[in-house]
Chains A and B, each alone.
Chain A
């Protein structure tokens, strides 16, 4: 069964305190792994796609990495505006569905 687990559920950081969010997945065959940011009352906003183990993508203070079993979203020197819920999703290569984790709620304190 295709499954995505994110940890921790919630994370509070001081401004400038770097950390990582985890996304563990089981899928029959991976077409892609996706990271999204979601602000309260809004739809998920696409951040990254990773396709194969060893791949990395960066955007401002965020860097996503992928292994065969998990992905990490590294946040370097976060700012309060990085506060949001970060969602991970996978798409198996057997179909066009996306399976989402329950997200990590990140709060960055000034």
Chain B
């Protein structure tokens, strides 16, 4: 798992509530990513980070924000969860040109 831990692994939340997902890495890699995976869409990039406090948007960033105050932690926040954000969320790190993924967080918005 390349030293990547995602928490929580499963979460059910109500529409309109804020939700924060955490990704923690143990090896101080510079690049970290948040993806969501949905049937028929594959893995789509939400946001990524290239250093502490350095982040950029991916292709499906609307409704999501991120923060990276420490090298090892990359947080994904849904400010006001919607049912369309029900998905499996994966964190990844980049080592050289290769990406390694965490085990995922299954989020259900009801």
Residues on A lying within 8 angstroms of B by beta carbon are 31-32, 34, 36, 41-46, 49, 51, 87, 89, 91, 96-103
Contacts and interface: CB of A to CB of B under 8 A. Distances in A.
Interface in B1-38: 1, 31, 33, 35
Given A44-B43, A101-B42, A103-B42, A34 B99 contact: yes
Given A43-B103, A97-B48, A98-B33, A91 B42 contact: no
Given A87-B42, A97-B48, A102-B42, A44 B101 contact: yes
28 contacts: A32-B97, A32-B98, A34-B98, A34-B99, A43-B1, A43-B103, A45-B101, A46-B98, A46-B100, A49-B97, A49-B98, A87-B42, A87-B43, A91-B97, A96-B31, A96-B48, A96-B50, A96-B94, A97-B48, A97-B58, A98-B45, A98-B92, A98-B99, A100-B35, A100-B42, A100-B43, A102-B40, A103-B42
B contact residues, range: 20 to 34
Interface of B: 1, 31, 33, 35, 40-45, 48, 50, 58, 90, 92, 94, 97-104
Given A96-B31, A96-B50, A98-B33, A89 B99 contact: yes
Contacts of B50: 96
Contacts of A87: 42-43
Contacts of B90: 43-44
Nearest to A44: B101
Nearest to B43: A100
Nearest to B97: A32
Contacts of A89: 43, 99
Among all A-B residue pairs, the 5 with the closest Cβ atoms = A43-B101, A102-B42, A100-B43, A32-B97, A100-B42
A48 to B, nearest CB: 9
A70 B94 CA distance: 23
A97 B42 CA distance: 15
Contacts of B45: 97-99
Contacts of B33: 97-98
A98 B91 CA distance: 13
